[in-house]
């Protein structure tokens, strides 16, 4: 009798264990599948609005994929991958040279240039001298007593070093030696990791003017001072002039510095080597480079090159080659 009872208990226990394992395995598989369908994107702050629209359109066509986007200065985005080894499926930078210098070739195989932009100065009706500022006198307005302007940190965000380059190019345009340094050293200026961090300060009236990308100013419906092409880093035809503006910023390693020379603005996108969901990443980048993606970018003030010039073309996934051409 004792043997029979023990045998029955053993059988019941075995059935219970067997009954739990499939359920546990199913839950584990569901969790794994859910994680596999999450697409992690690190991107420049200036891409927040257009990529939000791109992601919404992409997820509508691919409802099994959830896009998780994280905005930061482009250099900060790159360092999350290179220095902190954070997992990322797609990285979109406001300056293609950030990917080229901080991620390639160790952390990324290719670099697709997919959008352009230009520097501008944003302000509001509450800004001091808002009724007087023009493309000819903006440097004097920013230097005026009581005027406070904002800019991004050059070591963390391309808009930061491009803001400094804009000051230097303005100095050359009006032939006023020392102007760039005057603007750089203006008392009361506000500096943040990325230019979009300063939008709230501008809209609340805590700062009067903001060096920012024209696309972002337009997206937020701010008053925008359009700068001349000799100053705004927009035109590839002015490459020789732009490169005369230089900014010293931190390099790959602590204590190391590099000198950035001005050039026409070009944004880029890549799929890092540590991407956990490469198939979804390729699909997302393909959508971004497609006519639908380009239309969204252009509607948000960022024209898209056609085709997209690419460094590392030979290492591109086959699904992306149709949208790209090899850089010279």
> In order of start, what are the domains of the chain with their CATH numbers?
37-116+267-326 (3.40.190.10), 119-250 (3.40.190.10)
pLDDT over 60 (residue 223): yes
Q: pLDDT of 116-132, one tens digit each?
A: 999 999 999 999 999 99
Mean pLDDT lowest among 11-20, 93-102, 181-190? 11-20
Q: Which of 235, 260, 232 is nearest to 245 (CA)?
A: 260
Proportion of the chain above pLDDT 70, given as a percent:
89
Q: Which two tokens stand for residue 140?
A: 């004097």
Q: What is the DSSP string of 111-178?
A: EEEEE---EEEEE-TTSTTTTT--TTTHHHHHHSTT--EEEE-TTT-HHHHHHHHHHHHHHHHHT-TT
Q: Which of 254, 230, 252 is nearest to 242 (CA)?
A: 230
Mean pLDDT lowest among 169-173, 261-265, 302-306? 302-306
Q: pLDDT of 279-321, one tens digit each?
A: 999 999 999 999 999 999 999 999 988 899 999 999 999 999 9
């Amino acid at each position: 009798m004792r043997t029979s009872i023990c045998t029955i208990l053993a059988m019941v226990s075995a059935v219970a264990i067997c009954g739990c394992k499939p359920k546990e395995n199913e839950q584990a598989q569901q969790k794994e599948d859910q994680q596999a369908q999450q697409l992690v994107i690190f991107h420049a702050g200036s891409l927040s609005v257009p990529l939000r629209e791109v992601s919404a359109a992409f997820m509508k066509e691919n409802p099994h994929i959830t896009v998780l986007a994280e905005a930061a200065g482009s250099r900060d985005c790159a360092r999350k991958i290179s220095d902190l080894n954070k997992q990322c499926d797609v990285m979109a930078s406001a300056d293609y040279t950030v990917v080229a210098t901080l991620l390639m070739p160790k952390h990324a195989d290719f670099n697709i240039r997919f959008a352009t932009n230009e520097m501008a100065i944003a302000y509001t009706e509450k800004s001091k001298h808002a009724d007087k500022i023009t493309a000819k006198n903006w440097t004097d307005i920013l230097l005026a007593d009581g005027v406070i302007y904002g800019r991004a940190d050059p070591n963390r965000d391309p808009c930061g070093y491009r803001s400094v380059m804009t000051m230097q190019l303005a100095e050359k345009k009006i032939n006023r030696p020392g102007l760039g340094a005057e603007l750089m050293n203006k008392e009361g200026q506000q500096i943040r990791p990325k230019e979009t961090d300063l939008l709230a300060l501008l809209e609340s009236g805590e700062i009067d003017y903001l060096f920012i990308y024209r696309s972002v100013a337009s997206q937020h419906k701010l008053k925008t001072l359009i700068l001349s092409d000799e100053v705004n880093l927009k035109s590839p035809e002015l490459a020789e002039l732009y490169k005369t503006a230089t900014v010293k910023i931190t390099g790959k390693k602590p204590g190391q510095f590099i000198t950035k020379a001005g050039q026409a603005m070009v944004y880029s996108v890549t799929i890092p080597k540590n991407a956990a969901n490469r198939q979804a990443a390729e699909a997302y980048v393909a959508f971004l480079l497609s006519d639908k993606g380009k239309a969204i970018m252009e509607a948000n003030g960022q024209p898209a090159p056609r085709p997209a010039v690419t460094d590392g073309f030979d290492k591109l996934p086959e699904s992306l080659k149709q949208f790209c051409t090899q850089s010279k």
